[in-house]
Structure 1
Amino acid sequence: MLGESHDLFHEFPEYQNRIAELKAADSQFAQLYGEYHAVNDEVERIELQIETPSDFYTETLKKKRLHLKDEIYAILRTKARAEALV
């Protein structure tokens, strides 16, 4: 939605430190993070009407962004649970 921030630090404020740590230490996480932000940036350009692709393409991008966010959240939760057990 226009005007809403979908930056991961905004989406998951409770995981800000963990996101920063994983970006630096985990190449798989860093790749997902980069892909998420590339897709998110494209969606934002579309919402600001800087780019005007088809509605189908826009919805496909939004679904991809959601899927990536779900993957990232799963990693964050798994790492948090693993640390809680230590």
Structure 2
Amino acid sequence: MDSHALTIEFPEYVDKIAQLKQQDTEFARMANEYHKLDHQIAGLESRNMPISDEDFEQLKMQRLRLKDEIYQRLLNGLG
């Protein structure tokens, strides 16, 4: 089970992630939602997925879309 935490996904943006979490409420909301999704997916993976494959894939796609939005904010955001 691999972690997909933002600081692992974007190690070059660790400082900027922290800065944006403090200064940009929308970024903080997205980062929090991403963290919750990642935690939920990791939990399902560790319990051999007690949900349908389709629902699991939807969660993963939701996490991926959010990750893309966060990356765009990192590129275009503050700092």
- Normalising by structure 2, report the TM-score: 0.93
- Distance in 1 (CA, whole Å) between partners of 2:3 and 2:39 is 10
- Distance in 1 (CA, whole Å) between partners of 2:7 and 2:20 is 13
- Within 5 A, what are the aligned runs for 1:8-19? 8-19=6-17
> What percent of counterpart residues are identical?
42
Deviations 1:32-75 (A, max 9, x none): 00110111111001100175111111000000000000000000
For structure 2, the residue ranges without an aligned partner over 5 or more in a row are none
Instruction: Name the larger-Rg structure.
Output: 1
- Distance in 2 (CA, whole Å) between partners of 1:43 and 1:5 is 10
- Any conservation in 1 of the 2:49–2:56 contact (CA below 8 Å)? no
- Normalising by structure 1, report the TM-score: 0.86
Relative contact order higher in (CA < 8 Å, ≥ 6 apart):
2
Structure 1 segments of 4+ aligned residues over 3 angstroms from their partners: none
RMSD: 1.4
For structure 1, the residue ranges without an aligned partner over 5 or more in a row are none
